[in-house]
Amino acid sequence: MRIQPSILSADFVNMQAAIETIASADAVHVDVMDNHFVPNLTFGPAMVTRVQAVSPIPLDVHLMITDVDRWAPGYAELGVFSVTFHAEATENPVALARRLREIGARAGLAVKPGTDVRPYLEMLPEFDQLLVMTVEPGFGGQSFLADMMPKVAAVRSAVAVGGLDVWVQVDGGISLDTIAQAAEAGADTFVAGSSVFGSPDAAAAISGLRSAAAAHSH
Ligand code: DX5
Ligand code: ZN
């Protein structure tokens, strides 16, 4: 069970201190948004470089941008642990996943709530993680979409049937109230923004989420 706090909910002008509070997590989730793929604008490569320089834990970069064929390899070249792009943002997810892996990053594929995951299940061996969005991408603090759980279960089952080592990630509205459902559906990697950084004790929030997920895992 992996917990990955999203710094979208951290204090942007005290980022280094914020990152220190989540040192017990498995990765820092970095939401890159371009104001085109989603109606919000966040960080670019310069910020990712600085976060990586001060972070004691690996970086999981979630690209909510268009033109991923052009931009995603540059994020992998920064040496981050994983780079996830959206299925809706490229015509050829497999070719891009291969480029990312060649550069040395784990490759992730993300699907928005309205996107059917089934056409992508046959590509799973080309990926290291599959991200099922449990909110409409763009903003932190939204409500968890429980009706995405069948999608999570479909991914988990494809991973099991194929005997694959692919992480099943969920992102959006993950809290102590919702993480059990996601773990039960088969998620093993949990992004949490507001429930970690909105808590007075981020380390306690992380360990609480981790135990709740573990208690409901398969
Ligand atoms: C939403 C981002 C999420 C966001 C999650 O588009 O991809 O990573 O930070 O925030 P919470 O956990 O508050 O829903
Ligand atoms: Zn995200």
Q: How far apart, in whole angstroms, are the C-alpha atoms of residue 112 and residue 130?
A: 11
Cα angle for residues 152, 2, 124 (degrees, 5° grid)? 45
- Reply yes or no on whether 171 is catalytic: yes
What pLDDT, on a 0 to 100 scale, did the predictor assign at position 218? 75
Q: For ligand 1, is residue 179 a contact (CB within 6 Å)?
A: no
- Domains of the chain as residue ranges with CATH: 2-215 (3.20.20.70)
Give the Cβ contact number of residue 152 at 10 Å. 23
Instruction: Identify the CA nearest to 186 among candidates 170, 171, 206.
Output: 170
* pLDDT tens per residue across all 218 residues of the chain: 999 999 999 999 999 999 999 999 999 999 999 999 999 999 999 999 999 999 999 999 999 999 999 999 999 999 999 999 999 999 999 999 999 999 999 999 999 999 999 999 999 999 999 999 999 999 999 999 999 999 999 999 999 999 999 999 999 999 999 999 999 999 999 999 999 999 999 999 999 999 999 999 87
Q: For ligand 1, is residue 108 a contact (CB within 6 Å)?
A: no
Per the residue annotation, which of 26, 31, 60, 128 is the catalytic one? 31
Q: How far apart, in whole angstroms, are the C-alpha atoms of residue 184 and residue 201?
A: 26
CB within 8 A of 63, min separation 6: which ones? 32, 71, 72, 75, 83, 84, 85, 86, 89
Q: How far apart, in whole angstroms, are the C-alpha atoms of residue 90 and residue 148?
A: 22
Q: For ligand 1, is residue 5 a contact (CB within 6 Å)?
A: no
DSSP 8-state class, residue 181: H
What pLDDT, on a 0 to 100 scale, did the predictor assign at position 190? 98
Per the residue annotation, which of 26, 60, 128, 171 is the catalytic one? 171
